[in-house]
Amino acid sequence: MKKITPLVFALFLFVQVAAAQQLTHSASQNIEDGNSLACNFRDIDGNVIYVEQNTFYRHFDLDDFSISSSYDITSIDYGIEQLENAPAGGFPVTVGIYRVNGIFPNGSLTLITEVTENLQDQALTIRNVPIATTIAANDEFVVAISIPSDDPSEGGLGQVKFQIGSNDAGETDHSYLSAPDCSLNNPIPFMDQGRPDLNLVINVNGNGAVAGTGDLDLVGFSYFPNPVKRELRMRADQTITNVAVYNILGQKIRSFAPSDANTSLDLTSLTSGTYMVKAQVNDRVGTFKVVKE
């Protein structure tokens, strides 16, 4: 039986609670085949010969995820649709974390830290890259996945093919790409390239203090299972009077008044992703994160 982990909503009475929290704009973690975009060198028939320099971006604002203090990043996840013909020593892929100067994507970026891995051939995978840094409270940052050109004139072998991992399940902020060899000198949203169906899978894993109420622990409140496929069950020592479900943008998408100490919430129709559930037990209120599979 899982105890409540309170999270933040602006209307609640707040206390600070340390918690692990994943930041993502991805509605799904699925990596789809044939669903990617990159700048490539092609032959006269349009066939891809090798990949050019590409950088893929996700922008994160701690306020959007109800993080009320500094946030300690521990790792980054990113998807790979395809890496083919990597050299024996591996193909370098760099994960960078940047501070935003101005308003992204029009402002400049300052590198905070980066990690480079030399990867072998793979397909439809999600990489987890340990990388440590701290983002200040109420700050924003950018995660960039960068690959070099495999152009033989620039030291490449002229054979490596690379496609970043994505899906068409939806996203809560834009996916971006820059590629100088394709005249994309600044980060451009995928949708501006005519591909709104390409939603990058990039997650940030870490720990921060989130604001919330601890009152529900005092009335024996619990919820399970989490992650949930169909029904989320809730129990308390007193009557559960109201339950509401919010998406990660804070928009209420469902609510009901059970008036019972044992109740369940049917989440079958919701798309896969992370949701916030606000529960009220008589005069006590708390909010917790639920992952819908």
Give 251's contacts (C-beta < 8 A, 6+ positions apart).
none
> Is 13 a domain residue?
no
Higher pLDDT, 119 or 286: 119
Higher pLDDT, 98 or 292: 98
Q: How far apart are alpha carbons 175 and 144 in whole angstroms?
A: 11
User: Do you know the residue count of the chain?
Assistant: 293
* Within-domain flag for 9: no
Contacts for 194 with CB less than 8 Å, ≥ 6 apart: none
Q: Do 185 and 70 have their domain in common?
A: yes
Same domain, 241 and 100: no
Q: Do residues 23 and 167 share a domain? A: yes
Average pLDDT of the segment spanning 249-272? 86
Quick one: 94 and 195 in the same domain? yes
**Residue range 206-222: average pLDDT?**
67
Highest mean pLDDT among 71-85, 211-225, 257-271: 71-85
Nearest CA-CA partner of 65 in 137, 157, 153: 137
- Same-domain status, 57 and 131: yes
Does 172 lie in the same domain as 32? Answer: yes
Characterize the bridge pairing of strands 15-24 and 140-147: unpaired
By three-state DSSP, how is residue 16 classified?
strand
Enumerate residues 6+ apart whose C-beta is below 8 A from 161.
Answer: 40, 48, 50, 51, 82, 83, 84, 85
Alpha carbon 216 to chain centroid, angstroms? 28
Q: Are residues 187 and 273 in the same domain?
A: no
54 shares its domain with 117:
yes
> Cis (ω within 30 of 0) for the bond into 227?
yes
CATH number for the domain harbouring residue 262: 2.60.40.3080
Cα separation, 105 vs 114, in Å, equals 19
Report yes or no on 267 lying in a domain. yes
For residue 266, give its domain range. 213-292
Does residue 3 form part of some domain? no
Domain boundary among 174, 208, 242: 208
Statement to judge: residues 149 and 233 lie in one domain: no
Is residue 177 classed exposed, middle or buried when 0-12, 13-18 and 19+ CB atoms within 10 A define those classes?
A: buried
Which class for 288: exposed (0-12), middle (13-18), buried (19 or more C-beta within 10 A)? buried
pLDDT computed for residue 221 by the predictor: 82
Give me the number of domains the chain comprises: 2
Same-domain check for residues 188 and 221: no
The token pair at 98 is 């940047």
Q: Is residue 106 part of a domain?
A: yes
3-state SS assignment for residue 154: helix
* Confidence (pLDDT) at 219: 80
On whether residue 6 sits in a domain, the answer given is no
Instruction: Encode pLDDT of 120-143 as tens digits.
Output: 999 999 999 999 999 987 789 999
Residues 235 and 195 both lie in one domain: no
Residues 53 and 162: beta-carbon distance below 8 Å: no
User: What does the mean pLDDT of the chain come to?
Assistant: 86
One domain for residues 252 and 183: no
Domain boundary among 175, 208, 241: 208
Q: Which residue has the higher pLDDT, 69 or 106?
A: 106
137, part of any domain: yes
Q: Specify the pLDDT at position 96.
A: 98
At residue 95, the pLDDT reads 98
Interatomic CA distance for residues 147 and 157, integer angstroms: 14
> Domain holding 131: CATH number?
2.60.120
Q: Which tokens is 275 given?
A: 């949701």
